Every structure is written in C-alpha cells, then in structure tokens.
C-alpha cells in the first residue's frame, strides 16, 4: 500500500517525465505519432538534464576505462580545467599534469585508477595544493564514484567543489579571533601601563611642586596630552599612528597649533612610541609657552622630521625662534627628564637639548625599529 508521500512522489515524477501519458499512447493506434512524440520528449528531457548539470554550483566530469575525459559540465570547463584546451577527449593524466605539480597529479590519477579497478568510492575533504598552471593555491572537496558507460564499459565520475574562498574565509575568521584575543590582552596591558603613567605624572608633577595650583594645571595639561594621544591611536585601532596626526593633535591640545609650522614625510609610529612623542611635544610646547618662543606674540616654532635612508634613522627637530633670550635651566624638571629618558628609551634615540640664546633646539635621532612605514608626500618644505 502506498503512503501519502509515495503518491505525492509518483505524481511529481509523472508531472516531470510525462511517462504515463506516453504509455497511454503506446496502447493507441497512432504508432508513428507516438514515436515522434517520444523522440521529442526524450530530446526535451535530455536538454533539461544537461541544463541541470551545467548550472549546478559544482564541477562534474567523467573519464572512461582508458582514463580519457569523455564528458564535463560547464562549471568544470570554466573553472578548474580553464587552462586545458581541448579538454573533451584528452588524456586525464595529461590534463592533471597541466593543472598540478607532478606528485600531486600522480596522486590524483592514482585515486581514479583505484576507483576504476575496485569500484570503491573516494572522498577528499582537505585538498589544498599550489596549482601548476597559475601562481596561487586552490582548495577542493571532491569525490569519485564508479559509473556505467553506454556500451557496457566502466568509468569514473568526479564531483568537486572549489572551496578556496570558503577556506580563505575560515582562515580569516580564525585569524580575526586570534587578533581579537591579542587585542584584548594588549588592551589589558595598556590600561595597566596607562595607570602607571598617570601615577608617574602625578608623583612628578604634584608631589614635588611648591605651588599646588600650578602643579594641578600642569598635571591636567599632561593628562590632556595623554588623552589626545590615545584618541589618535583609537582611530587606528591601536596598531599604528601617523606622525603628522600625532604632532597636530599634541599642538592643538596645547592651543599653539597656529604658531607651530610642521613638515616631513608620512611616518607611521608604533602605538607606544606615538604616546611618548605626543607627551614629549606637550612638554616642549608647555615649556615654550612659559619661558620660550611661545611666551611672546612674535615667537614661533618649527617642528620638522625626515628619514635618513642609508642609516635608517628618523630625525626630528624642534626649533624655537623669535622669543626671549634663552639661558640653560638651573635644574632638570620632569619635562627634561622625560625628554632625555622616555624618548631615548622608547624610540631608542639620542636626544639633544641645545639652549641656544636665540631659541631652544631639541634634536631627536630615532632608529628604524621606531617606524612602521614611511613614504614621501608632495612638498618638501615646512607646512
């Protein structure tokens, strides 16, 4: 007794194939018309079948018992076999040697031979190899089945799916998860470091100052510079920061952006170094506002940088002009210590402070590990 699903299946099969209608014509008395209709029906069915095979989202091809390619859908001809011409009627082993390195080609042919000889199917889920005909790696999932050919011979039919993009996406997801874990660990580390910096700023600025009000203002200014540097790094996800952006942010936070001329090539800094540079520029700006060129209306500052290709050094120069006559300080404050120690340590640099009468000149020579990348930008003067 047929179940409901069985009747439904039979009805769908009849609607698709028209088999029962043709059988009814056999019992009639118009054999010539029946033969003509059978031929037309068979042709239509064949066309539908070919369309289904060609439009399926994976490759299909068939080799005979002599390992000759006898049939292949469009997906295969335009995909994995795109550089094999002609392909139908070609030796399968020859085609494999065109597409893959010799050892890989021999392994693939060996699987086909085994299925042809034993009838056992084969399935590969982890095929990722460099191509021989193009300069990249491709991945496939494929399986082999024994097939009966017209005339009674045997062959092997291969179904395969190009999993290159899927595997790339999977690797990208794994890499993204790994990077996220690293970023979380890095964030935890940086938060601890930032708290240490704040503690140091408070100890150096407030703890040793005879003027609490001035110390508070100085402390708030240094915190502002630290926050601005972190804002810059947040925009680039803490990976790197462009020197020009760090410089502009530091001067803007001190309110002196319109009195400082800057210029230099595009330089990408390590995030830790970017914070140090921002703090150093804040200290230089604060000192210039209090005692140097920026303490007068006519004073100004030039801040430039360049890269020495041969020595792989980044050279930064702070040069004050138009301010009051400069005299060397009688004591070394926190700003001076940070310039001489923090910059020297973080940038692996030599820092020189020249208290020339016409204006302070601070020169920083940093080595290549301080850089991520650099490329020239139009213009070679001070902006």
Question: How far is Cα of residue 138 from the mean position of the Cα atoms in its chain?
Answer: 19
Whether the predicted model's global pTM rises above the 0.85 cut: no
Both 46 and 78 in one domain: the answer is: no
Q: Quick check: helix, strand or coil at residue 101? A: coil
Domain count, the chain: 3
Q: Which 3 state secondary structure label does DSSP give 333?
A: coil
Question: Tokens 């801040």 map to which residue?
Answer: 303
Q: Kind of pairing, strands 59-63 and 313-321?
A: unpaired
H-state helical runs in 119-264: 164-205, 212-235, 243-253
Residue 196 lies in a domain: no
Q: In whole angstroms, how far apart are CA 330 and each of 200, 282, 283?
A: 23, 21, 17
- With contact defined as beta carbons under 8 Å apart, do 146 and 114 qualify? no
b/e map of 23-62 (b: 16 or more CB within 10 Å)? eebeeeeeeeebeeeeeeeeeeeeeeeeeeeeeeeebbbb
Confirm if 271 and 303 have CB atoms less than 8 A apart.
no
CATH number, position 292? 3.30.565.10
Q: What is the pLDDT along the chain (383 residues), one digit of tens a residue?
A: 444 433 344 444 444 455 566 555 555 555 667 677 777 777 777 777 777 777 888 899 999 999 999 999 998 888 889 999 999 999 999 999 999 999 999 999 999 999 999 999 999 988 889 999 988 888 888 999 999 998 888 999 999 988 777 777 777 777 777 777 766 665 565 555 555 555 555 655 565 566 667 666 766 766 666 666 556 555 545 567 788 888 887 787 666 778 899 999 988 887 777 777 877 787 788 788 778 898 888 899 999 999 887 667 888 999 999 988 888 877 666 566 666 666 666 677 788 888 888 899 998 888 755 555 544 333 334 44
**Residue 252 belongs to some domain of the structure:** yes
Distance (Å, whole) CA 310 – CA 305: 16
The CA distances from residue 2 to 7, 19, 240, in Å, are 6, 19, 71
Other CB atoms within 10 Å distance of the CB of residue 312: 12
Based on the fold, state whether residues 157 and 242 are members of the same structural domain: no
Residue 338: CB atoms within 10 A of its CB come to: 21
Same domain as 71, residue 153:
yes
Cα–Cα distance between 217 and 178 in angstroms, integer?
A: 42
Q: Is residue 47 domain-shared with residue 131, that is, in the same domain? A: no
Shared domain check, 245 and 353: yes
Whether 363 and 333 share a structural domain: yes
Q: Which two tokens stand for residue 24?
A: 């009814």
Domain that holds residue 346: 227-375
Q: Are residues 38 and 80 in the same domain?
A: no
Where a domain ends, among 126, 141, 162? 162
């Amino acid at each position: 007794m047929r179940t409901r699903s069985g009747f439904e299946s039979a009805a769908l099969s009849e609607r698709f194939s028209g088999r029962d209608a043709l059988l009814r014509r056999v019992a009639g008395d118009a054999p010539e018309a029946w033969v003509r209709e059978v031929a037309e029906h068979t042709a239509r069915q064949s066309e539908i079948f070919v369309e289904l095979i060609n439009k399926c989202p994976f490759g299909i091809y068939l080799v005979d018992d002599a390992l000759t390619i006898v049939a292949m859908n469009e997906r295969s001809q335009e995909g994995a076999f795109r550089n094999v011409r002609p392909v139908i009627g070609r030796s399968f082993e020859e085609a494999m040697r065109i597409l893959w390195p010799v050892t890989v080609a021999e392994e693939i042919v060996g699987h086909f031979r085994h299925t042809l000889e034993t009838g056992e199917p084969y399935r590969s889920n982890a095929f990722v190899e460099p191509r021989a005909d193009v300069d990249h790696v491709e991945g496939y999932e494929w399986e082999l089945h024994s097939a009966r050919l017209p005339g009674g011979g045997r062959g092997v039919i291969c179904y395969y799916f190009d999993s290159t993009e899927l595997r790339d996406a999977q690797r990208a997801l794994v890499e993204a998860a790994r990077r996220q874990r690293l970023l979380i660990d890095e964030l935890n580390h940086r938060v601890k470091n930032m708290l240490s910096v704040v503690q140091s700023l408070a100890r150096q600025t407030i703890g040793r100052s005879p003027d609490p009000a001035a110390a508070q203002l100085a402390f708030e200014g240094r915190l502002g510079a630290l926050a601005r540097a972190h804002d810059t790094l947040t925009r680039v996800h803490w990976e790197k920061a462009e020197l020009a952006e760090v410089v502009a942010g530091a001067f803007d936070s001190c309110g002196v952006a319109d009195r400082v001329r800057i210029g230099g090539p595009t330089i990408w800094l390590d995030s830790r170094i970017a914070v140090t540079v921002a703090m150093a520029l804040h200290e230089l700006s604060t000192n210039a506002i209090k005692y140097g060129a920026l303490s007068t209306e006519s004073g100004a500052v030039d801040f430039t940088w360049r890269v020495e290709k041969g020595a792989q050094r980044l050279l930064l120069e702070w040069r004050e002009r138009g301010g009051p006559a400069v005299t060397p300080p009688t004591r070394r404050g926190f700003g001076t210590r940070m310039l001489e120690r923090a910059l020297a340590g973080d940038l692996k640099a030599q820092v020189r402070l020249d208290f020339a009468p016409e204006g302070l000149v601070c020169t920083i020579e940093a080595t290549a590990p301080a850089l991520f990348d650099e490329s020239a930008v139009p213009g070679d003067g001070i902006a």
